[in-house]
Amino acid sequence: MTSAKYNIIIGLALLKTSANLKESDFMNTRQQELLKLIIEIYIKTVKPVGSKSLVKKMKCSSATIRNDMAYLETLEYLEKTHTSSGRIPSEKGYKYYVDYLMKPKELTGDDVLKLQTILNNKELVVSDAILKCMEIVSEITNYTSVVLGKDSSNHLLKQVSIIPIDDNKVVAVVVTNTGHVENKQTLVPSNISVNEIVKSCEIINKNLIGTKLSEVSAKLEYEVKPIIATKIKQYEEVMNFFQEAFNDFTVKQSDIFFSGKTNILKQPEYNEPNKIKGIISKLENVDLVKRIETDQEGINIYIGEENKFDDNVTIVKTSYKINDEEGTMAIIGPKRMEYDKVVMLLNYIKNYLERDKE
């Protein structure tokens, strides 16, 4: 079966007829049900599934189940482990499950309440609501979530604020024209005062509002610095303070937001040092993580090698565009993922946000 991605349409039954399959891939209804059952049991237990454990649920003999399992293995939907007589799903099996057998899972009232609490909070800008929702999804699923915003370099500076906390500590707040807000608590160098920082901030606002974030650094140096030099004695130190603050806000990494970053390491698939080291290295690789970005409609599932990130994971992702905010919401988990649950969670958030847009 050749299929690079899976666009899940929520609300429609995903069980399709075998008419679309190659003749060699034909399965009868019982074999389809058996494959679905084995995959869903393995997702929960992470243990090979044997025929005896399926007799009651399938309502047929152990011999019939063994024959069907052997047939599914010849179709490469199941694999036999060396340590057990049971079977586990193959990557091809997971793909078939997603395309033909999976049905979206209803969310619990508790899950809906958690998400609605965030989505109904009118004080949150869209970007913050998305980040908080994805934090909740990560907690619910125990998988890693990531939000990739569009490159912020073209966003325009709307306001810079300095909020003094005490004599040597302030919070710097940057707001863009898209409503994106970033803040950073930082120490003020001992040789400059908080008042000088605040005064310089006023000058920056007068001269840089409406400037692209990618151009802020150059304008600070060549246009604003000469003005501040006439007002502030320790202007070099003050300018270094603001340059560092803006660099933190405009670096490429600022458009990538993880939640539950170490959740992937809790999965049994990552119980070996080399695998742990490998996945951590990939999660820290900005260019590699950026490949997760998508502009595809719907909820898309990329299993194993087709996700272009890691052969041992599944990535479920969707794009969003609400007013001036756009980007990608994604969940990274094992191939043994609760697909039905993840799809519904992402779809719920996406539909809710787009409903508000309308």
Tens-digit pLDDT string for the chain (358 aa): 434 344 443 333 333 444 455 544 588 999 999 999 999 999 999 999 999 999 999 999 999 999 999 999 999 999 988 766 789 999 999 999 999 999 888 999 999 999 999 999 988 888 889 999 999 999 999 999 999 987 666 678 899 998 988 878 888 888 888 777 777 788 888 888 888 888 999 999 999 999 988 788 889 889 999 999 998 888 888 888 888 777 766 654 457 889 999 999 999 988 888 889 999 999 989 889 989 999 888 999 999 999 999 999 999 999 998 876 788 999 999 999 999 999 999 999 999 988 855 4
CATH of domain 153-253: 3.30.390.60
User: What pTM does this model have?
Assistant: 0.70
**Alpha-carbon distances, residue 263 vs 115, 223, 266, 356, 358 (angstroms):** 20, 46, 5, 31, 35
Q: Are 125 and 149 in contact (CB under 8 A)?
A: no
Where in the chain is CATH 3.30.450.40? Answer: 109-143+260-357
What kind of fold does domain 109-143+260-357 have according to CATH?
Beta-Lactamase (3.30.450)
In sequence order, what DSSP letters do the residues of 201-239 get, joined into one string? HHHHHHHHTT-BHHHHHHHIIIIIHHHHHTT-TTHHHHH
Q: According to CATH, where is 1.10.10.10 located in the chain? A: 6-101
Please state which CATH class domain 6-101 belongs to. Answer: mainly alpha
Q: Quote the tokens at residue 305.
A: 């090698």
DSSP H helix total and E strand total for the chain: 13, 11
- The number of residues making up the chain comes to 358
Closest of 247, 127, 125, 129 to residue 186, by C-alpha: 247
What are 224's two structure tokens? 């604003």
Residues of the chain with CATH 3.30.390.60: 153-253
Cβ count near 252 (within 10 Å): 12
